[in-house]
Amino acid sequence: MERLCPCTGQPSQGRSLQRQLSDLVSLVRFALGLDTELKPFADEVDKRFQAWIWRHNAQHGTAFSPEQTEWLRLMKDHTANSCQISRDDSDDAQLADMGGLQKACGIFGSDLDALMGEMNEVLVA
């Protein structure tokens, strides 16, 4: 019998276990009445990310650079699969391929930890 994703109803074949587990966040939020519609967790993270990055750029009067935006998107994708982002996640394949923690620190400087904390709060909450 083919297994279906509880959030999408689509076959879960090929989806990572990590992704399936992150979709449980959406299922729990729906079951608790925090969300009125059951949606894949990654879709909600994408939606929240777009609103967050727009709001962040507007509040600070300067937009993230293209390189920073690319990194933020990778961190968002990691968050969608793992329900969080931290310095330790710089060993993740995509982040490591981009230069890992050293590169991220070079791009964001002392703001890196604060940005990761803010992303965790806004994207997963």
Distance separating alpha carbons of residues 76 and 47, to the nearest angstrom: 11
Which segments of 1-111 does DSSP mark as H helices, in order? Answer: 17-31, 41-60, 66-82, 93-97, 100-108
Q: Which position has the higher pLDDT, 55 or 82?
A: 55
Could you read off the pLDDT of 4-34 as tens digits, one per residue? 444 445 554 444 666 676 677 778 878 888 8
Domain annotation covers residue 89? yes
Q: At what angle do helices 66-82 and 41-60 cross, to 10 degrees?
A: 150
Output the average pLDDT for the chain: 82
Q: What is the pLDDT of residue 102?
A: 92
Whether 110 is covered by a domain: the verdict is yes
| Mean per-residue pLDDT, 77-81 | 88
Q: Which residues are bridge partners to 11 per DSSP?
A: 4
Q: Flag whether 80 is in a domain.
A: yes
* Number of domains the chain is built from: 1
pLDDT at 17: 66
Q: Where in the sequence is the domain holding 89, given as residue range(s)?
A: 41-124
Record the pTM. Answer: 0.75
Is 5 part of any domain?
no
The answer to whether position 9 is within a domain reads no
